[in-house]
């Protein structure tokens, strides 16, 4: 797995999810399996089958999170040129074609949340913005070409 960038908050969210799965969900699932076993014949026990399937899902996610954490590169905010767009930047943009201003928070690919304006550094817009500064215009190639003017670049505040 390739190394992925995370904001400190995004990395903490991975660690919190792993902790919850290991310390809460695994134990809950063990109880579900034990309870289902008590119903008797396992060959026709749908509760047991469902609990075992859930166990597989939980353990697969634990393995995935461990790998993500092992390959994570957490952005060191103190080492960043705040005038240039990077992971963790809040960027106010003006779309020339649509004559509209909007704001994006550039985050690592596993932190993307479009509803809250968080876009991935590996998305077409994110890649076009990386390294750019206030006043620059970037062109995003895709289904339609977008000309975006960077109005401001700032750093996200810790949540």
**Residue 49, domain CATH:** 1.10.287.180
Q: Is residue 62 domain-shared with residue 91, that is, in the same domain?
A: no
Residue 72, classed as helix, strand or coil, is: strand
Residues 100, 144 within the same domain: yes
For residue 71 the two structure tokens come to 């390959």
* 27 vs 131: CA distance, rounded Å: 45
Its domain, for residue 108, covers 77-155
- C-alpha dist (Å) from residue 17 to 65, 76, 86, 127: 8, 22, 25, 28
Pair 65, 108 in one domain: no
Per-residue CA distances from 114 to 61, 67, 107, 154 (Å): 23, 25, 11, 19
Are residues 105 and 40 part of one domain?
Answer: no
pTM: 0.70
In terms of domains, do 127 and 70 share one?
no
pLDDT tens string for the chain (159 positions)?
678 888 888 899 999 999 999 999 999 999 999 998 887 777 778 889 999 999 999 999 999 999 999 999 888 777 777 889 998 899 999 999 999 999 999 998 888 998 999 999 989 999 999 999 999 999 998 888 899 999 999 987 654
Spatial separation of the C-alpha atoms in residues 90 and 111, rounded to whole Å = 14
Sequence-distant (≥ 6) Cβ neighbours of residue 69 within 8 angstroms: 11, 14, 15, 18
């Amino acid at each position: 797995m390739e190394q992925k960038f995370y904001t400190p908050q995004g990395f903490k969210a991975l660690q919190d999810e792993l902790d919850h799965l290991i310390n809460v969900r695994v134990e809950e699932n063990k109880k579900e399996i034990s309870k289902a076993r008590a119903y008797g014949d396992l060959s026709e026990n749908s509760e047991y089958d469902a609990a075992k399937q859930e166990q597989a899902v939980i353990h697969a996610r634990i393995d995935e999170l461990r790998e993500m954490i092992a390959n994570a590169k957490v952005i060191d905010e103190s080492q960043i040129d705040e005038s240039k767009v990077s992971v963790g930047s809040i960027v106010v943009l003006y779309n020339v074609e649509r004559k509209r201003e909007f704001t994006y928070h550039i985050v690592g690919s596993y932190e993307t949340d479009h509803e809250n304006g968080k876009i991935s550094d590996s998305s077409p817009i994110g890649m076009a913005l990386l390294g750019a500064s206030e006043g620059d215009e970037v062109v995003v190639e895709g289904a339609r070409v977008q000309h975006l003017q960077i109005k401001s670049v700032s750093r996200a505040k810790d949540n």
